[in-house]
Structure 1
């Protein structure tokens, strides 16, 4: 098996001395998400999460296990949303202040006195909402002086919590919007408003479900948390090793084998992982060395892994955290989001596969020898039962189960199925470790969601969303293409400094209504924003997935990022494809023939764009052929009969020319 071939007896290096090129799959699986997100960065701007020993470690373990147990309970037995979110926030604040140092000069082996004080203050401030929940609900969030004081404290704690976990960008934006709420009366132009008192702002942000305790934190405390926990339980079963072995068995022997293994393994792993960087390290530690061994350049090997892992966030059934917010915001079932995202995700991975195949053709890179590959039948027989939870959760979502309940059942299945064979049993300690790991992995997402609640609360209070949407429509002159381009640029720029979830929420709040006004279906508009927020993970100058992958091979991070963008070029086109050809999102009522036609023309368009970018098939394409293929790809974005026929005709001519050249050379 692949895992056995890679395993050795090396121990993990001390913290801060990790040699990325020496990591094994087994070592990577023992790392938590915070370590995975951190490694590979050339400049660590954020402080590391503390690692405790002794009683402090036991305390953190107890809190995290209780946090996961609480979320499992509320996933089964419903309680009031405000109460559920309050308990969720209190857990998050306490853990962040204990685990994340305030600065790089803060102690790393223990919380400081200030950290303990902030953790205790968090419990007190949030408990005010919990204890006075009924009174606040009956008065519509109109609190007394003590409520307002605790509200101010809560806002400050949330801002500091986000600063420690996700950086300065989100808290700075929240402070700016709060200031905008105060001083809006002094602004000229369409963003001018009457202005609000500090009491009105604090009431709105902390005593109602419109701010900190709003919809975004609600999604974090339910769907997002449960699927993170589901992923943590799958991790302890050794799921990633199964994915790697299946991918090796299917694609390892093909032309450019390890690169295609990377695409398959990352797509499979991404189907249950919401973190591009974690996906990079989990699969990249295995695939990048293999790619380099067969002759791929270091930056190209890393860019393949970065592009493939980034696409994992758009691959059903789990996708990224923002996908749950899309479903909740639009009031649709999560399965509708999964169904709509399926074909675009497949197109993305097909495009990567084609790009890799063309590069392997050009550089004459073959696959791995057959004897070095695991046998698919053996993998399925020995560990195929570990895939049952993944198929189970897909079945439940398709059957109409609530996504949160489906995640709970998935967790139960992952435990039960591990006992089908003795060598995959999950020990009780590993179950507790999964609960701890799930809680720790959820902290940064939850902190971001809490501060996003402040942003959304201020936007809704001031009415800025209407003014910003109107500004986009005015700037684009009501032209759909220009509006989409402006939205793409906004999402890409915001994504450079924000997590995917934050980028999606902010951009969709500003731009999605404008896109919908131009006749685009709401789900297509939100998925359009979602895509570009995700692709920012490989877009320089701030490309976290590309930087992490570069760390695994020692390649130049920026060169890796630009190469990843080139590989994933189709990903930047796909959102335009499903806006102009909504059939790609599989809406209800489509005929089978129309679906087949759209799929076929989309695949031809992907092939055309790949030829234009890589410039090689049977031989190097000349400039005219590359331009013609690029034009064909653009024409095939639209699902019209005329544009499809012209695009297909161009591709057919170029392909025939390439095949004629091959026959001519063979005859010679």
Structure 2
């Protein structure tokens, strides 16, 4: 599946300016929706994307930062998000579909920000994409590997059909194993189309018969897995696949133990805070320290999430901050789901924020650059992940909470314009290289679009218009004069 995502990404954007970094954004985003772990995503897709970016001229630290940023975005991108998103749905008593609905626009803005940063860095360094002839065909890659997406499609369908995440996950895993075992058997013993078609039809009929016999869906799935495991013992490719599946299950069990222990310990902590009344007291302390100012409370909550994230995985970080900090935001009038999403996002951003920055630490040996340098660059690239939660608190329409769709569209436009300006200020390039004064002006205009005060939007739009006009003038002035 990793190879499928890489081929699709290369076929779609590999030939464009800065295509190597854009491949990282798309490939890591695809893969992140499957594994839900930012650090694991860096260690898988990063083995391919980071050397590709370095090969085409990106500095090593920027290549590592781009991969770390794109990989962390998988936890916030619907339809399959990190484990903390499922816990959020259970905690606040809403459907997982509502969590996805609130997360979709911020996630799109996050990846758009990373894509834009890659484009600007390529323009600043005058980098080009791969030659068209060297890029694989996205259509051919989809034609050859489309079946690998079927378990993911089934998982998403079950989640949005109202089934529990546990049930959807079990069926998704069973479907993946059935697909791999069946494909391996056919690649070894049945290469003709007729045999392949007959095999899957018979397997489908067996599944239908088991279901009609009164067995539950998960029992039927595991019965099919057992039927396919038996013949796999009798040829080498099948035994190799079974060994790989056992290793994958062992890795999954190790990861589940870590999450389970964290959830158990955090559950004890939450119980202590709730029974002793410390949870409400801590929420009151945050409100008191903020002096009743929402911005101060948001900043305190952000710092708490990032500090906790230096030593805890995202799931444990979210559970603690949702129990301590989210009630404080709720007391100050922030909607329930928005306050929890705020804690969720900054729990994820903790893995990009120095001094620890676990995602940057994972990218460091691959990129052969210092992890702190990668962490600071990733912080700049992922600035949408830091700014959009604040914008959503001041106007929940950005998370499709309240208001009409026209207002949500306005918020998306404003946030997108802010990302464009912020990217220019951070990279130092737009249509032409920017000096310090131009970067400062772009940054101030972007800040005006984030701050929700009576005239800040107007000032931000005016600043953006002036910046674009000035860049247009400079770009035209720098063109060489054509001979008479």
Give the C-alpha shift of residue 653 in structure 1. 1.9
Please say if residues 388 and 415 of structure 2, whose CA atoms lie closer than 8 Å, have aligned partners that are also in contact: no
Residue aligning to 1:597: 410
**Residue 514 in structure 1 maps to residue 276 in structure 2:** no
Report the Cα distance in structure 1 between the residues aligned to 2:320 and 2:255, rounded to whole angstroms.
Answer: 22
- Of residues 341, 355, 375, the one that matches 2:137 is 375
**Residue 477 in structure 1 maps to residue 291 in structure 2:** yes
CA distances 1:310-363 after superposition (whole Å, capped 9, x unpaired): 222212222222112211110111121111111101101100111111111000
Report the Cα distance in structure 1 between the residues aligned to 2:350 and 2:137, rounded to whole angstroms.
Answer: 37
Residue aligning to 2:157: 395
Give the C-alpha shift of residue 480 in structure 1. 0.5
Residue aligning to 1:453: 267
Report the Cα distance in structure 1 between the residues aligned to 2:461 and 2:438, rounded to whole angstroms.
Answer: 14
CA distances 1:115-157 after superposition (whole Å, capped 9, x unpaired): xxxxxxxxxxxxxxxxxxxxxxxxxxxxxxxxxxxxxxxxxxx
**Residue 570 in structure 1 maps to residue 370 in structure 2:** no
Residue aligning to 2:466: 653
- Of residues 291, 304, 309, the one that matches 1:495 is 309
Residue aligning to 2:4: 242
Please say if residues 472 and 483 of structure 1, whose CA atoms lie closer than 8 Å, have aligned partners that are also in contact: yes
Please say if residues 581 and 638 of structure 1, whose CA atoms lie closer than 8 Å, have aligned partners that are also in contact: no
- Of residues 351, 366, 369, the one that matches 1:552 is 366
SS at match of 1:315: coil
CA distances 1:461-494 after superposition (whole Å, capped 9, x unpaired): 2110011111111110111000000111111111
Report the Cα distance in structure 2 between the residues aligned to 1:420 and 1:646, rounded to whole angstroms.
Answer: 59
Residue aligning to 1:261: 23
Residue aligning to 1:331: 93
Residue aligning to 1:444: 258
Please say if residues 302 and 549 of structure 1, whose CA atoms lie closer than 8 Å, have aligned partners that are also in contact: yes
Higher helix share: 2
Please say if residues 310 and 351 of structure 2, whose CA atoms lie closer than 8 Å, have aligned partners that are also in contact: yes
Report the Cα distance in structure 1 between the residues aligned to 2:451 and 2:420, rounded to whole angstroms.
Answer: 16
**Residue 292 in structure 1 maps to residue 54 in structure 2:** yes
Gap runs ≥5 in structure 1: 1-238
SS at match of 1:666: coil
Report the Cα distance in structure 1 between the residues aligned to 2:119 and 2:164, rounded to whole angstroms.
Answer: 40
Report the Cα distance in structure 1 between the residues aligned to 2:426 and 2:245, rounded to whole angstroms.
Answer: 47
Residue aligning to 2:435: 622
Please say if residues 385 and 420 of structure 1, whose CA atoms lie closer than 8 Å, have aligned partners that are also in contact: no
Give the C-alpha shift of residue 434 in structure 1. 3.8
Residue aligning to 1:86: none
Give the C-alpha shift of residue 590 in structure 1. 4.7
Give the C-alpha shift of residue 446 in structure 1. 1.2
Residues 142-291 of structure 1 aligned to structure 2 (within 5 Å): 239-291=1-53
Report the Cα distance in structure 2 between the residues aligned to 1:543 and 1:497, rounded to whole angstroms.
Answer: 10
| CA pair 395-645 structure 1, distance change in 2 beyond 3 A | farther
Deviates more, 1:396-405 or 1:472-481: 396-405
Please say if residues 310 and 356 of structure 2, whose CA atoms lie closer than 8 Å, have aligned partners that are also in contact: yes
Give the C-alpha shift of residue 545 in structure 1. 0.8
- Of residues 340, 348, 360, the one that matches 1:526 is 340
Please say if residues 580 and 637 of structure 1, whose CA atoms lie closer than 8 Å, have aligned partners that are also in contact: no
Give the C-alpha shift of residue 308 in structure 1. 1.3
Report the Cα distance in structure 1 between the residues aligned to 2:452 and 2:105, rounded to whole angstroms.
Answer: 15
Report the Cα distance in structure 2 between the residues aligned to 1:399 and 1:497, rounded to whole angstroms.
Answer: 36
**Residue 364 in structure 1 maps to residue 94 in structure 2:** no
SS at match of 1:538: coil
Residues 10-49 of structure 1 aligned to structure 2 (within 5 Å): none
Report the Cα distance in structure 2 between the residues aligned to 1:423 and 1:555, rounded to whole angstroms.
Answer: 42
SS at match of 1:322: helix
Report the Cα distance in structure 2 between the residues aligned to 1:325 and 1:593, rounded to whole angstroms.
Answer: 31
Give the C-alpha shift of residue 444 in structure 1. 1.2
Please say if residues 581 and 637 of structure 1, whose CA atoms lie closer than 8 Å, have aligned partners that are also in contact: no
Report the Cα distance in structure 2 between the residues aligned to 1:526 and 1:644, rounded to whole angstroms.
Answer: 26
Give the C-alpha shift of residue 431 in structure 1. 4.3
Report the Cα distance in structure 2 between the residues aligned to 1:641 and 1:252, rounded to whole angstroms.
Answer: 43
Report the Cα distance in structure 2 between the residues aligned to 1:386 and 1:602, rounded to whole angstroms.
Answer: 35
Deviates more, 1:629-638 or 1:553-562: 629-638
Give the C-alpha shift of residue 591 in structure 1. 3.2
Q: How many residue pairs were aligned? A: 429
Report the Cα distance in structure 2 between the residues aligned to 1:555 and 1:530, rounded to whole angstroms.
Answer: 29
- Of residues 283, 302, 309, the one that matches 2:64 is 302
Report the Cα distance in structure 2 between the residues aligned to 1:471 and 1:630, rounded to whole angstroms.
Answer: 33
- Of residues 72, 83, 106, the one that matches 1:321 is 83
Report the Cα distance in structure 1 between the residues aligned to 2:466 and 2:409, rounded to whole angstroms.
Answer: 23
**Residue 612 in structure 1 maps to residue 425 in structure 2:** yes
Please say if residues 598 and 639 of structure 1, whose CA atoms lie closer than 8 Å, have aligned partners that are also in contact: no
Give the C-alpha shift of residue 394 in structure 1. 2.2
Residue aligning to 1:409: 171
Give the C-alpha shift of residue 456 in structure 1. 1.1
SS at match of 2:478: helix
Give the C-alpha shift of residue 514 in structure 1. 0.7
- Of residues 380, 385, 399, the one that matches 1:585 is 399
Superposition RMSD in Å: 2.1
Please say if residues 352 and 567 of structure 1, whose CA atoms lie closer than 8 Å, have aligned partners that are also in contact: yes
Deviates more, 1:256-265 or 1:411-420: 411-420
